[in-house]
Amino acid sequence: MWEFWVRSLNASTIFTVAALGEIIGQRAGIMNVGVEGAMLFGATISFIVTKTTGSYLLGFLAGIAVGALIGLLHAFFSVTLGGDQVVNGMGIWILGFGLTAYIGYPYTGPLGLPRLPAINGLSPFFLLSLLLAAGIWFFLFKTHAGLKLRSVGENPSVAEVSGINVVRTRYASVMFSGALMGLAGSIYALDYNPVWNYNFLMGWGFIALALVFFSMWNPFLLLGGSILFGALWQVSLNPEALLPNIFSRYIWRTFPFVITVIVLILMSTKWFSSRWGAARPEALGLPYEK
Amino acid sequence: MNIAGYKIKLEKKTSFSGLEAAALSVLAVVVALFLVGFIFLQAGVDPAKGYAEIFSYAFINSFGVPLTINRAIFLLLCTFAFILPMRAGLWNIGMAGQLYAGALAAFGVAYAFGARTNPDVPAGIVLPLMILAAMAGGGLMGLIPGFLKGKFNTNEIVVTMMLNFIAFWVTAHMIKEGGPFMGSGGEGEGFKLPPVLQPGLFLGMPFTIWFALGLTALLQFVFTKTRIGYEIRSFGASPAAARYAGVDPFKISVLVFVAGGVIAGLAGYHYFATVPGLFKIPKNYGDFGDLAFYGIICGLISQGNPLAAIPLAVLFGGLTSGGRFVQGKLQLGFGIDYAMLGVLMIILVAFQFFFRYRVVFKKEKEA
């Protein structure tokens, strides 16, 4: 049982870090539906760097850096060019899907390095994800800078008038958001499952995106959601441990996706949105023009 | 910005002509292909030679041309599955799941008539039923995001993407490791249709080309000449205004997603049940789900225009089949067609800007 929970928490780490990135961006009013693309970039680049240099540290740094660059690209499209954020995000996703399939292919296979240390099986990155969630919650709700960031996402015109640089705030938030997605991808590729295969995230980025809606843009609710999904994912990978001989292993693999859809439906009902919907940043998805 | 006495300004476009839109689309494709040339360079291949090989294989070579046609039909159907919701302002990225569902339903009919083991099924009944089942399977798969969007305003991007993975694994369950549709070879692929269920070619092309061309005409007619087409377009332009004018959002959302799913289901039937050499759900069925994402590219470049989608489907059908070919011939890395997909998409995103703004050069007045 301990092993099951440890693996679930390790899986949840990746959802948490990626979705925390998305929360930061969305709190500043910029939606990035291309989480999966940014994560694929982070995962692939960090994997290649670590495999060629043998250094985990360089790999993580490269993953974070490429994530931030993807964030910069998204910010350029969404803030400077003011395009439709959904279209831009889809662009980020398909760019990541297509380009990493090509770039990473020669590196297909296992990383071939000793695994990163773990505490009784628990990845240290899980602890990092807890710290990040707490830190981002503190930043967003207890600091002046966090208040500024949120005001940009709620009402950019008013924020601008009160002396906040909307463009700069949004750029910074979206780049930081991309960096976290890149980090999440790196954790997946270097720690959770260090075997490169094309499109190997299999929709984790989209689940992270769904978790943001689920979290009501609150890092702590997000943490709970991530752990739930991490556990579901583990059940679907090793169903025999809990519920033997019901479905084939392929059918079990559909479970996290089925549950994501069910959770999304519950969250979109009137009952749910009238209770919690007010947390949605007011200016989310809207381009800002002076 | 001032350059050489000219003032460069951006003006918001209020309208632009069809010609201007077409020119911009062509330019976007050219820029993207130019950038992909750098991938050839990095792999040590002269881009001109790389493209020459791709185009000659895709559009001249007697092995390549049928492949291009098969892919073009497939892409055209996937594009229509994408643009129906797109014209209503909705995102269907679930073509992959819908086409797997269509293929599973079609092969399910063949299976129900015992075609897995019995070569003498009544083709006159089974074949039409397979086509109808493919449409129904894809349509049901499309109904899910359409209903959820219309009823609860559930994010259709996440739902369709989740359904892609669900359909992917259900397909694996059906054709692999003792699944009901598993072929006799035990190689993790679906059973092969008996010869009576293998439709012949028409002028060297699968008969499904008539579906693709017929749908082009139908969609063009629906979008330009019918009330429902007008409702779809007005809902896409402004959901709030359309609602005010009496358009029912639930109806539109269900309609475009079901219709899109039906068409994607046909795409699944087309590739797995009419293309010579297949006639089964192959081991690498996931590649066709990935190929379906080119439907997004064709849909975005054509701006949702069904007629404009035809040359694009032919172009990308050729580029992907030719891309696969040069990989082997010129020792390029795997996935040049994937890289091209990514670059095309991001260039299109960048080009959105030029659809909304016009760059104007004005002579500076003498001070």
Contacts 24+ apart (CB under 8 A), B15-21: B16/B355, B16/B358, B21/B303, B21/B355
**Local confidence band at B65 (pLDDT 50, 70, 90 cut-offs):** very high
- Pairing of the two strands B205-206 and B201-202: antiparallel
Could you tell me if A265 lies within 8 Å of chain B, comparing CB atoms? yes
Token pair, residue B184, equals 């006799």
Mean pLDDT, chain B, as a whole number?
A: 88
Q: Is the pLDDT of residue A278 over 70?
A: no
Using alpha carbons, select from B133, B99, B97, B135 the residue that is nearest to residue B115: B133
Q: Which of residues 268-307 of B touch A (CB under 8 A)?
A: 290, 293, 296-297, 300
Q: Which of residues 199-218 of A touch B (CB under 8 A)?
A: 199, 202-203, 206, 209-210, 213
Residue A209's contacts (CB-CB under 8 Å, 6 or more residues apart) are A19, A22, A33, A35, A36, B158
Q: Which of residues 126-185 of B touch A (CB under 8 A)?
A: 144, 148, 152-155, 157-159, 161-166, 169-170, 172-173, 176-177, 179
Please indicate, yes or no, if residue A290 is contained in any of the structural domains.
no
Measured between beta carbons, which residues in chain A are less than 8 angstroms from residue B36? Answer: none
Residue B14's contacts (CB-CB under 8 Å, 6 or more residues apart) are none
Indicate yes or no: CB of A213 within 8 angstroms of CB of B155: yes
Indicate yes or no: CB of B350 within 8 angstroms of CB of A77: yes
Measured between beta carbons, which residues in chain A are less than 8 angstroms from residue B335? Answer: 98, 101-102, 105, 198
The nearest alpha carbon in chain A to B286 belongs to A199
Total domain count, chain A: 1
Q: Is the pLDDT of residue A275 over 80?
A: no
Q: Is the pLDDT of residue B41 over 60?
A: yes
Taking CA atoms, A83 is separated from A22, A70, B302, B349, B355, in Å, by 18, 16, 18, 8, 10
Number of residue pairs across A and B with CB atoms under 8 Å? 138
Please indicate, yes or no, if residue A117 is contained in any of the structural domains.
no
Give residue A167's pLDDT: 93
Q: Which of A91, A102, A106 sits opposite B346 (nearest CB)?
A: A91
The nearest alpha carbon in chain A to B155 belongs to A264
Indicate yes or no: CB of A86 within 8 angstroms of CB of B91: yes
pLDDT tens figures, B222-250: 999 999 999 999 998 888 888 888 899 99
Q: Which of A103, A199, A206 sits opposite B162 (nearest CB)?
A: A206
Give residue B367's pLDDT: 46
Please give, rounded to a whole number of angstroms, the shortest distance from the CA of B201 to a CA of chain A: 33
Please give, rounded to a whole number of angstroms, the shortest distance from the CA of A203 to a CA of chain B: 7
Measured between beta carbons, which residues in chain A are less than 8 angstroms from residue B336? Answer: 102
pLDDT tens figures, A84-137: 898 899 999 999 999 999 999 999 999 988 888 888 889 999 999 999 999 999
Selected for mutation to probe chain A from B148, B161, B168, B359 (highest A CB count within 10 Å) is B161
Please indicate, yes or no, if residue A176 is contained in any of the structural domains.
yes
Mind listing the domains of chain B with CATH numbers?
Answer: 2-363 (1.10.3470)
B146: amino acid identity, one letter: G
Measured between beta carbons, which residues in chain A are less than 8 angstroms from residue B353? Answer: 81, 83
Q: Which of residues 210-269 of B touch A (CB under 8 A)?
A: none
Q: Is the pLDDT of residue B92 over 60?
A: yes
Measured between beta carbons, which residues in chain B are less than 8 angstroms from residue A254? Answer: 165-166, 169-170
Could you tell me if B78 lies within 8 Å of chain A, comparing CB atoms? no
pLDDT tens figures, B108-141: 999 999 888 888 888 889 999 999 999 999 999 9
Selected for mutation to probe chain A from B41, B45, B166 (highest A CB count within 10 Å) is B166
The 10 Å Cβ neighbour count of residue B276 is: 13
Going A104 to A110 to A112 to A116, the CA torsion angle's sign is: positive
Please indicate, yes or no, if residue A221 is contained in any of the structural domains.
yes
Percent pLDDT > 70 in chain B is 93
Contact in structure between A169 and A149 (CB atoms under 8 Å): yes
Q: Is the pLDDT of residue B21 over 90?
A: no
Mean pLDDT computed over B89-109: 95
Q: Which of A33, A81, A101 sits opposite B335 (nearest CB)?
A: A101
pLDDT tens figures, A167-221: 999 999 999 999 999 999 999 999 999 999 888 888 899 999 989 887 888 899 8
Question: Which carries the bigger pLDDT value, residue A217 or residue B3?
Answer: A217
Q: Which of residues 13-72 of B touch A (CB under 8 A)?
A: 39
Residue ranges making up the domain that contains A207: 2-110+122-279
Q: Which of A96, A251, A261 sits opposite B159 (nearest CB)?
A: A261
- For A166-183, what is the HEC assignment? HHHHHHHHHHHHHHHHHH
Question: Which residue's structure tokens are 């497939």?
Answer: B74
Residue A106: which CATH number?
1.10.3470.10
Could you tell me if A266 lies within 8 Å of chain B, comparing CB atoms? no
Please indicate, yes or no, if residue A154 is contained in any of the structural domains.
yes
Give residue B205's pLDDT: 86
Q: Which of B161, B170, B353 sits opposite A206 (nearest CB)?
A: B161
Could you tell me if A88 lies within 8 Å of chain B, comparing CB atoms? yes
Give residue A208's pLDDT: 93
Could you tell me if B330 lies within 8 Å of chain A, comparing CB atoms? no
- Residue count of chain B, please give it: 367
Please indicate, yes or no, if residue A58 is contained in any of the structural domains.
yes
pLDDT tens figures, B288-340: 999 999 999 999 888 889 999 999 999 999 999 998 888 888 877 778 888 88
Query: Which spans in A105-218 are helix H?
Result: 124-142, 144-154, 156-161, 166-187, 204-215
Indicate yes or no: CB of B177 within 8 angstroms of CB of A251: no
Measured between beta carbons, which residues in chain B are less than 8 angstroms from residue A251? Answer: 169-170, 173
Measured between beta carbons, which residues in chain B are less than 8 angstroms from residue A15? Answer: none
Please give, rounded to a whole number of angstroms, the shortest distance from the CA of A236 to a CA of chain B: 12
**Local confidence band at B258 (pLDDT 50, 70, 90 cut-offs):** very high
Please indicate, yes or no, if residue A285 is contained in any of the structural domains.
no
Measured between beta carbons, which residues in chain A are less than 8 angstroms from residue B177? Answer: 248, 250
Token pair, residue B312, equals 């694009």
Distance CA B155, CA A261 (A): 10
